[in-house]
A and B are shown apart, each in its own frame.
Chain A
Amino acid sequence: MLKRRIIPKILIERRVVGGALEFVSITTQRFSSVRIVGDPISQAKLFESQLADELVVLQRDGSQSGISEGFRTLLSRLANESFMPLAVGGGIDSVDKASYLISAGADKVIIGSAALTDPTLLSSIASRFGSQSIVVSLDIVSHGTDEHSVMTGEARSQVAGNLDDILSQCVSQGAGEILLTDVTRDGLGEGLNLSLGAYTTERIGIPVILSGGAGTPLHFGDAFQYASVDAISAGTFFSRRDQTPIEVRAHMMNSGIPTRSIT
């Protein structure tokens, strides 16, 4: 049986550390209030030892900073030191940039705002790398259970469109998975947006990853059971709350949710 996935998210940003510009991992609340966590490589190794099912690595505000050589170097180090699948993004707006990261060790690329502005990007990446290598990341603000807006821009304050329309557009252009992040729940730990998850899994046939708001193992269990999402991604939960994928897995096993056997 296919197992539901637990995916720690490492959000990174460039900061001056000891006089040099380096990538540090951070967490945010509602896409602002940045707090530094530490070194992304040691964090990834920790998640690997805790048997995370996959890892998401996202560059914050990548559409402004772009894909640098430093980012690629960081990614190759991550790929060298872990044997779990890596989904990487933040600033990918062309097939060449996708290729640049895949050749450094990314298994999947995460496409954010460029999926909304360039209608041919997803299909071009799919024809070279296959749909299974494309995750489209959509940042959402919900207005009730059946109305969800896809957000864009600084602190995700502008509406890019209606979720239903954008979902069908992304799927027809070759998206392989959808990563949903609830902007207003981001980093608060007060629970995932179950109605957003359920709304999306009912509409599309590709895997759905839900994120934004995980605060306890129970939140994971509820989203798997009641929103039928395939995976849950969490940043703040795994970086700041003394919680590991191991505890979430134990809760899932006790609730009868299919989870990877650890042998």
Chain B
Amino acid sequence: MQRLRFFGWGLRLVNALTVGIVDYQAGNVASMRNAFQHLGARALIIKAPSDADSVSHIVLPGVGSFGHCRRQLNDSGLVPFLETWTLVDKRPLLGVCVGLQLLTQSSDESPEETGLGWIPVKTHKLTGSNNEYRVPHVGWNDVAFSPSFEYPHEAKRDYYFDHSFAVTDTPPNTPIAICDYAGGFVAALRRGSIYATQFHPEKSQRSGLDFLKYFLMSS
């Protein structure tokens, strides 16, 4: 059954898709755009709702502090648009790294700001130690996808991480993937039309490009 569903991917043409990448004036949006273009999709940068007319998928990319990105998002006027896009129209949204964290209720990084709150959990600082778990968590680590995630690549693969904060509690009714570091945290999640990763798929070479393709084809 699962196999059949993924077979169906072939019917959808990546080059008919347009990915809108939200620019917070902080992050490295160029790498995300390159990755989608490499897969054959069109990709454009969104700074205001009017930039998003023709897009089929939206990405909240992942470099910047939680507070800075949240303030930029407010100033851009994109929040009501993204709410309708995601919660009302149920169209596909991918949050990456701080983009995942912005979907939660709050973050220890910037307690003065609230998150979008679409994923009912909070983002916490990872607890490290000199000997075992260094923080920031930087580098390649493996990720275990739960069967309910329906991610077709079951082979053990490494993804690139670069973060000090993460979702350490399990969100209810949400298929997740776990990374076993500093007590474990949510490495990826899927809730309705929302996809989110703590790792950077745009920097994870082949395993990352496969994940981006999965986002485009299954949503």
B65, A2: Cβ atoms closer than 8 Å: no
Bound: A263/B210 CA distance, A: 12
**Size range of the interface on B?**
35 or more
A202 touches B (CB below 8 Å): yes
Stretch of B14-22, B74-82, B85-93, B139-147 contacting A (4+ beta carbons < 8 Å): B139-147
* Residue among B27, B28, B141, B156 with the highest chain A CB neighbour number at 10 A: B28
Determine which of B64, B131, B206 lies in contact with A129 in the assembled complex, contact meaning CB atoms within 8 Å: B64
Listed residue (A51, A76, A230, A261) with the most chain B CB atoms within 10 angstroms of its CB: A261
- B205 & A107 in contact (Cβ 8 Å cutoff): no
Over the window 95-136 of chain A, the binary record of Cβ atoms lying under 8 Å from chain B Cβ atoms (1 yes, 0 no) is 000010011111110000000000000000011111111000
Binds B, one of A24-32, A58-66, A204-212, A213-221: A204-212
Asked, given contacts A106-B28, A108-B162, whether A130 binds B65 with beta carbons under 8 Å apart, the answer is yes
Q: Say yes or no: B34 contacts A80, CB within 8 Å.
A: yes
Assess whether B65 is in contact with A84, with CB atoms less than 8 Å apart: no
Which one of B52-60, B113-121, B170-178, B196-204 contacts A? Answer: B196-204
Query: Is B205 within 8 A of A51, CB to CB?
Result: yes
Task: Scan B152-173; emit 1 where CB is below 8 A from any A CB, else 0.
Answer: 0001111010111000000000
**A83–B203 Cα gap in the complex (Å)?**
5
Assembly CA distance A261 to B35 (angstroms): 21
Nearest Cβ on chain A to B128's Cβ, whole angstroms: 5
Given contacts A83-B203, A83-B209, A127-B68, contact A207 B138 (CB under 8 A): yes
Q: How far is the CB of B95 from chain A (nearest CB, A)?
A: 15
Q: How far is the CA of A207 from the CA of B199 in the complex (A)?
A: 17
Within the complex, the shortest CB–CB distance from B151 to chain A, in Å, comes to 14
Q: Mark B35-59, 1 if CB is under 8 A from A, else 0.
A: 1001000000000000000000000
User: In the complex, what residues of B have CB within 8 A of residue A203's CB?
Assistant: 130
Count of residues in A whose CB is under 8 Å from the partner chain? 47
- Report whether B65 and A128 are in contact in the complex, using a CB–CB cutoff of 8 Å: yes
Shortest CB-to-CB span from B58 to chain A, Å, is: 20
Chain A 48-82 against B: per-residue CB contact (8 Å), 1 yes, 0 no? 10010110000000000000000000001001100
B28 touches A105 (CB 8 A): yes
Is A191 interfacial (CB-CB < 8 Å)?
A: no
B205 in contact with A76 (CB, 8 Å)? no
Say if the beta carbon of A3 comes within 8 Å of chain B: yes
A2 near B28 with CB under 8 A, answer no
In the complex, the chain A residue whose C-beta lies closest to that of B27 is A102
Pairs A-B, 6 closest by C-beta atoms:
A132-B136, A260-B140, A105-B30, A3-B140, A130-B65, A260-B158
18 contacts between A and B (CB under 8 A): A1-B142, A2-B139, A4-B139, A53-B140, A54-B139, A84-B203, A107-B200, A128-B26, A129-B27, A130-B109, A130-B163, A132-B136, A132-B138, A132-B163, A206-B134, A230-B138, A261-B158, A263-B207
A interface vs B, CB < 8 Å?
Answer: 1-5, 48, 51, 53-54, 76, 79-80, 83-85, 99, 102-108, 126-133, 176-177, 201-208, 228, 230-231, 260-261, 263
Known: A177-B136, A261-B158. 9 other contacts (CB 8 A): A53-B139, A85-B200, A102-B26, A107-B63, A129-B65, A205-B134, A206-B136, A231-B139, A260-B140
